[in-house]
Amino acid sequence: MAISSRFSVAVHIISLLEISKPERLTSEFIASSVNTNSVVVRRIMGMLNKAGIINTSPGVAGAMISRPIAQITLLDVYLAVEVDHQDHLFSIHDKANPNCLVGKNIQHTLDQRFTQAQRAMENELANVTLEQIVTDLLIQDSSISSTTTTINKG
């Protein structure tokens, strides 16, 4: 059970909005960058808007980030778009055999470990800002560009 791609698409959207500002980007343009349908982008943008991370207006094309990206963490984005996983990242089967040693104890035992794992993941996401992500994207692009230039010159 993996976290859905909504999370990475949401980070993609916010990063693209930041790098392209002050221009307002349409869902069609963003969808071309994500390589998905614009309906998917609009749905995720609606979630980000509801969470106060971006601002969209009905009838107005494009979106803008609502606050500095140094104030937006990956946890903020995760909680905005992963509505199915906000309470429990991991789900535990609930129909185990109560007459079996493992069946009657597995839920309680795993619940403790899974809760610890989820807290650790959320703490890690809370320590990474979108500013760090955008900076990493720009550094990655410049290192690829300089490698490409070097290769093309040789």
Question: Domain containing 80 — which CATH number?
Answer: 1.10.10.10
What was the pLDDT predicted at 98? 87
> Tens digits of per-residue pLDDT, 15-72?
999 999 888 888 899 999 999 999 999 999 999 999 999 998 877 778 899 999 999 9
Say if 113 falls within a structural domain.
no
Which range of residues forms the domain containing residue 48?
6-86+129-147
Q: What average pLDDT does the structure give for the chain?
A: 86
> Tens digits of per-residue pLDDT, 71-110?
999 999 999 998 765 556 677 777 888 899 998 888 888 8
CA distance 8 to 55: 19
Number of domains in the chain: 1
42 — phi, psi (to 5°)?
-65, -40
What was the pLDDT predicted at 84? 65
Say if 76 falls within a structural domain.
yes
What is the C-alpha end-to-end distance of the chain, expressed in Å?
46
User: Cβ–Cβ contacts within 10 Å for residue 137, how many?
Assistant: 16
Say if 77 falls within a structural domain.
yes
- pLDDT at 9 > cutoff 90: yes
pTM of the shown model? 0.81
At residue 146 the predicted structure's pLDDT band, cuts being 50, 70 and 90, is low
What was the pLDDT predicted at 52? 96
Say if 1 falls within a structural domain.
no
32-44 burial, b at 16+ Cβ within 10 Å, e below that, comes to eebeeebebbbeb
Say if 109 falls within a structural domain.
no
- The 3-class secondary structure across 60-101, one letter per residue, is EEEEEECCCHHHCEHHHHHHHHCHHHCCCCCCCCCCCCCCCH
What was the pLDDT predicted at 1? 46
What was the pLDDT predicted at 65? 94
